[in-house]
C-alpha cells in the first residue's frame, strides 16, 4: 500500500496546459516602424542620387585630383605627428603623475590642467605667433648663455607650429588616458612582479603596460580619430590640409556642396580604416582575457565559407 502511494506521488497527474504549444508574443508595430524607417532611408538615397544640388560630376572631378590628394597627405601627416608626439609626451606626463615625487606630480598635473583649459584654436594661433614673443630659441645654461640658437621662424614654420599645437594639446588628454589605463591594472600584478625580482622598467613594460593597453586603446582610438578630423582646425593657419584645400577650391569654383562632400568622403573613408586598425589592435591586447571582442563581419564570413567547404569535402 505504501509503495503505491509513493509511486503515485512520483508521477504527477497529466496537466493538459503543460502540453500546449508555445508561441512568441506578436509585435505588429515593430514591423510598421521598420518599414517606415526603410521608406525614409530610400527617400534619402534617392535624393542623393537625383538631386542636382549634390553635383556628382564635380565631386568626381575633384575627389582624386592632385591638390585634394596632396591635402589628404598633409592631413594624415598632421594626424601621425600629432598622435606619435602627443602620446609620447602623454606617456611621460602620465609617468610623472604616477611618480613618487610631489614636485613632478604637481608639474604634470599643472600641464594637464593648462592644456585642457586653453582652446586648441587659441593655442594654434598662439604658437603661430611664437616668434613675436621669442625671436630666437637657444639651448644652453638656464638663465645663462646659450650654446646654439635658432631663429624661431626658421625652426617653427606654419606646419611646425600646427604640429606643436596639436601634439601639446593631445599630450594632455593622452596622459590622462594612459594614467587611467595604468590605474586599472590590478595592484597585485605589480606586487607579483616585485616579488619575482623583475627590474622596475621591465615591470612597467612587460607586465603593466600590456594589461593597461586594454583600457587605453578604446579611448586612444577615440582621440586619434578625433585628432584626425580635428586637424581641419589648422585651416586657420592657412595650411593646405583637406578642409582648407576644399575651401580653396569652392572659393574659386563656387561649388560648395560637392567639395564639402569630397572632404567628407575622405574623412569617412580614413576614419573607417582607423576603426578597422583599432579593432585589430584591441584583439591583440585582449589575448588571455576572458572577454575577447566578437569576430569581425569579415572573419565571420570567412569562417562560414570554410565551414561550407569542409561540409562539401
Chain positions contacting another protein, by CB under 8 A: 186, 188-189, 191-200, 202, 206-207, 210-211, 285, 287-290
Name the minimum Å distance from CB 53 to another protein: 53
**Long-range contacts for 109-112 (Cβ within 8 Å, ≥24 apart)?**
111/171, 111/172, 111/175, 112/172, 112/175, 112/176
Answer for the pair 86, 169: CB distance below 8 angstroms, yes or no. Answer: yes
Name the minimum Å distance from CB 209 to another protein: 10
Q: For another protein, which is the closer residue by CB, 1 or 195?
A: 195
Answer for the pair 246, 235: CB distance below 8 angstroms, yes or no. Answer: no
Task: Report the candidate in 116, 217, 205, 128 with the shortest Cα–Cα distance to residue 165.
Answer: 128
Q: Residue 50: which residues within 8 A CB-CB, separation 6 or more?
A: none
Name the minimum Å distance from CB 198 to another protein: 5
Distance CA 214, CA 289 (A): 10
Q: For another protein, which is the closer residue by CB, 202 or 302?
A: 202
Q: For another protein, which is the closer residue by CB, 229 or 283?
A: 283
Inter-CA distances, 231 with 72, 164, 167, 269, Å: 11, 12, 11, 16
Name the minimum Å distance from CB 91 to another protein: 19
Q: What is the DSSP letter of 146?
A: E
Q: For another protein, which is the closer residue by CB, 56 or 285?
A: 285
Q: In terms of C-beta density within 10 A (0-12 exposed, 13-18 middle, 19 or more buried), how is residue 220 classed?
A: buried
Q: For another protein, which is the closer residue by CB, 10 or 195?
A: 195
Q: For another protein, which is the closer residue by CB, 191 or 307?
A: 191
Amino acid at each position: 500500500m505504501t509503495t503505491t502511494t509513493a509511486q503515485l506521488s512520483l508521477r504527477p497527474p497529466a496537466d493538459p496546459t503543460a502540453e500546449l504549444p508555445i508561441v512568441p508574443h506578436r509585435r505588429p508595430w515593430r514591423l510598421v516602424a521598420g518599414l517606415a524607417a526603410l521608406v525614409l532611408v530610400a527617400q534619402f538615397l534617392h535624393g542623393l542620387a537625383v538631386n542636382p544640388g549634390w553635383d556628382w560630376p564635380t565631386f568626381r572631378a575633384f575627389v582624386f585630383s592632385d591638390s585634394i590628394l596632396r591635402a589628404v597627405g598633409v592631413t594624415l601627416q598632421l594626424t601621425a605627428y600629432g598622435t606619435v608626439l602627443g602620446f609620447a609626451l602623454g606617456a611621460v606626463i602620465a609617468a610623472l603623475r604616477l611618480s613618487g615625487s610631489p614636485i613632478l606630480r604637481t608639474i604634470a598635473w599643472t600641464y594637464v590642467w593648462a592644456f585642457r583649459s586653453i582652446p586648441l584654436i587659441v593655442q594654434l594661433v598662439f604658437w603661430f605667433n611664437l616668434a613675436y614673443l621669442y625671436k630666437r630659441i637657444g639651448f644652453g645654461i638656464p638663465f645663462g648663455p646659450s650654446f646654439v640658437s635658432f631663429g624661431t621662424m626658421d625652426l617653427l614654420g606654419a606646419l611646425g607650429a600646427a604640429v606643436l599645437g596639436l601634439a601639446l594639446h593631445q599630450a594632455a588628454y593622452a596622459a590622462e588616458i594612459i594614467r587611467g589605463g595604468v590605474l586599472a591594472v590590478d595592484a597585485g600584478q605589480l606586487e607579483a612582479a616585485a616579488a619575482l625580482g623583475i627590474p622596475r622598467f621591465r615591470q612597467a613594460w612587460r607586465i603593466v603596460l600590456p594589461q593597461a593597453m586594454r583600457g587605453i586603446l578604446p579611448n586612444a582610438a577615440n582621440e586619434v580619430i578625433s585628432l584626425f578630423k580635428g586637424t581641419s582646425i589648422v585651416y586657420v593657419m592657412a595650411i593646405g590640409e583637406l578642409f582648407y584645400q576644399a575651401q580653396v577650391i569652392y572659393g574659386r569654383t563656387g561649388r560648395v556642396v560637392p567639395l564639402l562632400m569630397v572632404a567628407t568622403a575622405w574623412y569617412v573613408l580614413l576614419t573607417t580604416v582607423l576603426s578597422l586598425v583599432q579593432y585589430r589592435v584591441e584583439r591583440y591586447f585582449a589575448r588571455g582575457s576572458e572577454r575577447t571582442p566578437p569576430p569581425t563581419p569579415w572573419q565571420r564570413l570567412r569562417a562560414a565559407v570554410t565551414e561550407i567547404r569542409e561540409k562539401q569535402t
